Amino acid sequence: MATKDSSLPIARRSTWRDDCLELVCGIANAGGGRLILDADVDSRGVVKRKTNRIMKSIPSTVSQALDLTCAVELVLDGGQFCLEVVIPPAPEPLSYRGAFYFYQDGENRLMDGDALDRLLQPELEPDIKWEMRPVVQASLDDLNLGLVARFTGTSRDTDLTTARDEATAIEEDLRHAGLMTGVGTPTNAGILLLHDRPHQYIPGATVRIGFFGGRGGTPVFEDEICGSLIEQVHATVEALFDKYLPDPSPRNDPSSRNAPGFGMPPRDAVHEAILNAVAHKNYDSGTPVQVSVFTDRICIDNVGRPPRTWTASALLGRHTSRPNNPNLVAALRRLGVIDGWGNGIGSMRLQCIEAGAAEPVIELRDDETMVCFPLDTDSMLVSSIIDNGPLPSQRPARSEVPEVQVTARALAIQHNTSLTANDEKVLAMIDIDGRLTAPRIAKNLNISESTVRRSFRRLRELGLVERIGSDKSGFWQVR
């Protein structure tokens, strides 16, 4: 099961009842959290009919009653199967049947008096999150209508100057998503997502790319990518692979994956890293996301980092989503651009493994997050247009490994044995996705299926993994 953030509210009930909607309302008003319900599962790990019916009905019930999108999944909690209802933070105060609730210290409180006033009028509080601050110079008319239409599902040819009912509905939808205020002024998040040139209103709302060759200092050449947030991501990836990186086409043949010179990071992994950087950046800093290309690596650096209790090794493993800009991430999830489940790093790692490329290196600083993709030095030297001096003596070493691998090595030592490199690679892959099969892992690691199955057996004997369900339809659970 994914690592959970203990600071988020967690409520537990034996089963789903009508009063659970009050509980969901209170948790959403408290900033989001989880509701844990008992699950009825047979010895094979198969959900029984009643639990399956409840599991499927909860999202639609919550959506109809609270206009809130939640997710339900089957998880292991304390060794028992449970249903986990993941409740996002409410973009604005929610009420259920006219009453407002707030979940705090294990109690779902009915809000009234001063407490209700503070809940309904957050603008009276001195600390308004950056993404919710209004951009008073702009209005709905300044936004890109195509982007607005894509987000709200309205017609692209809607004339907002004459179709007032339609405009009002659009404003209401954007306000509910935290992209617009109640007086028709876009928020910072709305400008980032729906304006063609957000940097006109938000300093540093761009991506800078620089080619540094074999040394640091001043870049040999550089570009600044502007546009809406989604456009910045796509344009940055296109510029990187069209202008800054060598043509990988000679290496598209899978049979060459272990040949000298192979190792360019896959486009999808780089896209995910840049998307994470622009989505989770601290925009108060006024600093663009920086993409630095060297002869041996690509480094993607943004101001902003996960919670300070998290280490780089925890980030490399499975973890919950803790966005710095929750409304912006929720809007990107609604557009289908991001999944919002904290799977980005795992997705990057798996894509690199499957492409035969080195895994990304994560570095967390006081107020920055850096993701580095090691590159094939020889191919970059060939593509370099000028002599940039000697290469660094060695590539940056991974200073952190996933926590699951640290645990695995320690446990192996306790049993007076050791794990092979293949054992650790197999463990890393099933930690990312427990439903990966032996044939797929064998193909991606370029080893035999029997080697993978031996690793399965060794990892299970050490108590590092267990099989949930049948061999055919089950999955691996990292313990």
Query: What pLDDT is recorded for position 257?
Result: 44
- What are the residues whose beta carbons fall under 8 Å from the beta carbon of 50, sequence distance 6 or more? 40
pLDDT over 90 (residue 205): yes
Give the pairing type, strands 221-225 and 207-213.
Answer: antiparallel
Assign 30 a pLDDT band (cuts: 50, 70, 90): confident
The three-state DSSP-derived secondary structure of 90-153 is: CCCCCEECCEEEEEECCEEEECCHHHHHHHHCHHHCCCCCHHHCECCCCCHHHCCHHHHHHHHC
Average pLDDT over residues 185-194: 94
pLDDT mean over 93-103: 89
Across 10-24, 26-40, 349-363, 365-379, least confident range: 365-379
Given a cut of 60, whether residue 373 has pLDDT beyond it is yes
Is the pLDDT score of 198 beyond 90?
yes
Are 140 and 167 within 8 A, CB to CB? yes
Rounded CA gap, 257 and 68, in Å?
Answer: 45
On whether the CB atoms of residues 34 and 88 are closer than 8 A, the answer is: no
* Contact assessment for residue 220 and residue 177, using Cβ atoms and an 8 Å cutoff: no
- Are residues 104 and 98 in contact, defined by beta-carbon separation less than 8 angstroms? no
Cα separation, 274 vs 225, whole angstroms: 12
Can you give the pLDDT at residue 155?
63
Confidence of residue 252 (pLDDT cuts 50, 70, 90): very low
- The conformation of residue 247, written as its DSSP 8-state character, comes to -
CA distance 164 to 330: 27
- For residue 346, give the amino acid letter: G
Interior angle at CA 148, CA 144 and CA 152, nearest 5 = 175
Average pLDDT over residues 58-69: 90
Mean pLDDT of the chain: 81
Instruction: Look at residue 456 and tell me whether its pLDDT is greater than 80.
Output: yes
Chain centroid to CA 92: 23
Residue 122: predicted pLDDT: 55
What pLDDT does 194 receive? 96
Q: Is the distance from CB of 248 to CB of 264 less than 8 angstroms? A: yes
Q: Which two tokens stand for residue 311?
A: 């280490």
Query: Smallest Cα–Cα separation from 297: which of 268, 270, 258?
Result: 270
* Lowest mean pLDDT segment, chosen from 198-202, 336-340, 453-457: 336-340
CB-based burial label for 417 (10 Å; 0-12, 13-18, 19+)? exposed
Mean pLDDT for 461-475 is 84
Write out the two tokens for 251: 């290496």
Mean pLDDT of 40-65: 84
Q: Is the pTM of this model over 0.75?
A: no
pLDDT at 2: 38
Q: Which residue has the higher pLDDT, 51 or 77?
A: 51
Average pLDDT over residues 215-244: 91
What pLDDT, on a 0 to 100 scale, did the predictor assign at position 210? 93
Q: Which of 314-318, 371-375, 475-479 has the highest mean pLDDT?
A: 371-375
Task: Give pLDDT tens digits for 393-413.
Answer: 444 444 456 677 777 777 778
pLDDT of residue 286 exceeding 70: yes
Residue bearing the bigger pLDDT, 190 or 468: 190
Q: What is the pLDDT of residues 140-188, one digit of tens each?
A: 889 998 999 989 887 655 554 445 567 788 888 999 999 998 777 899 9
Which of 152-156, 289-293, 466-470 has the least mean pLDDT? 152-156
- The distance from CA 347 to its chain's CA centroid, rounded to whole angstroms, is 9
Percent of the chain predicted with pLDDT > 70: 82
What is the model's pLDDT at position 263? 66
Q: Which of the pair, 377 or 2, is modelled with greater confidence?
A: 377
Residue 347 confidence class, pLDDT cut points 50, 70, 90:
confident
pLDDT band at 271 (very low <50, low <70, confident <90, very high): very high
Give the highest mean pLDDT range of 52-56, 211-215, 313-317: 52-56
User: Does pLDDT of 380 surpass 60?
Assistant: no
Whether 309 has a pLDDT exceeding 60, the answer reads yes
Q: CA end-to-end span of the chain, whole Å?
A: 8
Quote the pLDDT of residue 121: 64
* pLDDT band at residue 19 using 50, 70 and 90 as cut-offs: confident
Which of 133-137, 219-223, 228-232 is modeled with the greatest confidence?
A: 228-232
Q: Are 187 and 135 in contact (CB under 8 A)?
A: yes
Provide mean pLDDT across the span 182-205: 91
307 has pLDDT over 50? yes
What local confidence, expressed as pLDDT, does residue 164 receive? 58
- Domains of the chain (ranges; CATH) run 10-120 (3.30.950.30), 128-198 (no CATH), 207-383 (3.30.565.60), 403-478 (1.10.10.10)
Determine what percent of the chain is predicted with pLDDT higher than 90: 29
What pLDDT score was predicted for residue 399? 45
Region 269-286: what's the mean pLDDT? 94
